[in-house]
Amino acid sequence: MFLAQAGDDPRNQIAALTAATQATGGLAAIVTLVLLARREWLQEQVLWLQREAHQLQVDRYEYERADTVRRQIVDLKAAATEHLASDKIAVQLGGLHMLDQLGKEHPDQREAIVAAWCSLLRGRFEPPPGLIGPPSIDRTAPPPHASDTAVEALDLAGEYQVRMTAQRLLLGHLRDPRAGTEASRIGSPETAEYWSLRQLDLTGATLINADLTGCYLIGFDARYAIFHGQTTFADTLFSGEAAFTSARFRGDVCFDRAVFEGASDFDAVLVVGRAQFTGTAFRGAMECKSAHFTGPAVFQGTQFEGHTRFWKARFGGTAYFEGACFFFDIGFASSCFEDFANFTHARFLGRTAFGHTAFVGAATFVNAQFGPSTVFVSASFYETVDFTDAYFDQRASFESAEFADTARFRQARFAGTAGFHQARFEADARFTSTRFDDQTGFGAAYFGGDVELGTIILGDRATLDLTDASAALPEPANLRQEWPTGWHTVSDHERLYLRAIEPRLPSVHG
């Protein structure tokens, strides 16, 4: 009666038997209760086994599918490799596109595919004159009696087309769709077209008209690479280290608005053309030692936020550093500016070194701002140099510097010590309204042209030392000297020597 009322639900039956047991106290009810409990347990085990069997089938299917994909990848890579080893241009091009399609469908293969493309580009290639440009070849076989030169030219044209295809596929996948925005600082999400790569190894590669505009590069290595034609890295973000050591740019190169988050190395780089770095930001250390720029080098508005070195660099064309800002130490020691050097409105906030630097062309530092230490020791200025309205915050040293043409320091201000000891001014020296706020020395300096020192301004703490300074005899009618108050000249029939009128140095105020 109790089981009939409980129905088919085992839980209700167990409850009913429990109630029956309590009511009758019979042994049969207890046995029935145990049997029902075991039946429920067996049902649960059957369901668990069914679920396990289903999961095993799913895992087997996934394994077989993954194994099939792996086999397809292996077969496709092997086929692509075989195609690339062919001596037929069309077959090689097919191999490149096979790798490209593989990378689009399988992101985990992209690093290996890019390594293969870079390996192809690392092979040395010297494009013959007139070949650089859109690839175009005649795929027909040469005539039976074609000269070796014609066959060689056809081979070069074919290799050129293969290389340009590999380069186009590679660079096309590096262009960040969010370039130029703040979001691009961390790179865009990967797609079939945009690949985010940890490292790009182009060491010793040959690239032709390479366009990396707006690319996002984590690690970039182009040491000893050769770039032919027009090369551009405009708006490119280098989020890791960038190496261009001993690279050769046989044409113009543009880095406008590029950002270098990590250290960058341009040591011994050669640019045979125009080098453009307008608005570029170097946020890590920047090395450019022994670099050679044969054409104009444009660093207008460039931000150097780490230690920067241009030691022994050579600027064959105009060097534009107008409005550039050097946040830390900057070194141009032993460099050579063969043409006009423009540092107008430049800011040197760290220690600045131009020691032994040669300015063959005119140079201007108008309205430039110099920081704690400025060194032009033994610098050579062969043409006019202009420091009008420049500001030197602390120590400034022009000791043994040579000025072959007019040197202008009009309205410049030296807030710290200033040293011109043994400097040679072969032509005019213009110090009109120049202000010196601390110890200033022209000891043993030589003035060969017009001298304008009479209107200098000395601050309350300033002293002026002209001991053993000398000047050319004012025999020409247009040669004149204006010495500071408290000094006069003594002639020895060859030149004028400056002597203090009083035993102690006067303080001149203006």
Per-residue model confidence as pLDDT tens digits over 102-139: 888 888 888 888 988 998 999 888 887 766 644 433 33
| Digit-coded pLDDT (tens) for 141-199 | 344 444 444 445 546 778 888 999 999 999 999 888 776 555 445 556 778 788 888 88
| pLDDT at 167 (0 to 100) | 93
116, 119, 286, 374 from 123: Cα distances, Å: 12, 7, 28, 46
Q: Comparing 156-165, 290-299, 315-324, which segment has the lowest mean pLDDT?
A: 156-165
Q: What's the pLDDT at 33?
A: 72
Length reported for the chain: 510
Region 269-281: mean pLDDT is 97
Q: What is the pLDDT of residue 88?
A: 84
When pLDDT is averaged across residues 310-334 and rounded to a whole number, the result is: 96
Q: Shortest CA distance to 392 belongs to which of 376, 407, 371, 411?
A: 371
Q: How do residues 429-460 score in pLDDT, each as one tens digit?
A: 999 999 999 999 999 999 999 999 989 999 98
Query: Residue 404: what pLDDT?
Result: 97
The two structure tokens encoding residue 365? 């530092």
Does residue 493 register a pLDDT over 60? yes
CA gap 489, 470 in Å, rounded: 8
Range with the lowest mean pLDDT among 97-111, 228-242, 262-276?
A: 97-111
Give SS3 for 51.
helix
List the one residue out of 272, 266, 305, 306 whose CA is nearest residue 289: 266
Q: How many helices and strands in the chain, by DSSP H and E?
A: 6, 52
Q: What is the pLDDT of residues 339-383, one digit of tens each?
A: 999 999 999 999 999 999 999 999 999 999 999 999 999 999 999
pLDDT at 20 over 70: no
Q: CB within 8 A of 381, min separation 6: which ones?
A: 359, 363, 401, 402, 403, 404, 405, 407
How remote is the C-alpha of 305 from its chain's centroid? Answer: 12
| Of 497, 452, 493, residue with least CA distance to 475 | 493
Mean pLDDT of 487-499: 83
Q: What is the mean pLDDT of residues 220-245?
A: 95
Q: Is the pLDDT of residue 215 over 50?
A: yes
- Which residue did the predictor score with more confidence, 110 or 505? 110
Tokens 């209700």 sit on residue: 12
Q: Residue 287: how many CB atoms within 10 A of its CB?
A: 22
Among 243-257, 325-339, 491-505, which stretch is predicted with the lowest mean pLDDT? Answer: 491-505
pLDDT, position 146: 43
Render pLDDT for 397-428 as a digit per residue (tens, 0 to 9): 999 999 999 999 999 999 999 999 999 999 99
Compute CA distances 271 → 164, 334, 441, 450, whole Å.
22, 19, 41, 40
Could you tell me the pLDDT band of residue 16, with boundaries at 50, 70 and 90? low
Q: Is the pLDDT of residue 64 over 90?
A: no
Percent share of the chain, pLDDT over 70: 80
Question: Under 8 Å CB-to-CB from 177, ≥6 apart: which residues?
Answer: 188, 191, 194
CA–CA separation, 327 and 346 (whole Å): 11
Mean pLDDT, the chain, integer:
84
- The predicted pLDDT at position 370 comes to 97
**Nearest Cα residue to 196 out of 172, 168, 176:** 176
Q: Are 206 and 124 in contact (CB under 8 A)?
A: yes
Is pTM beyond 0.75 here?
Answer: yes
pLDDT at 139: 36
Q: Is the pLDDT of residue 270 over 50?
A: yes
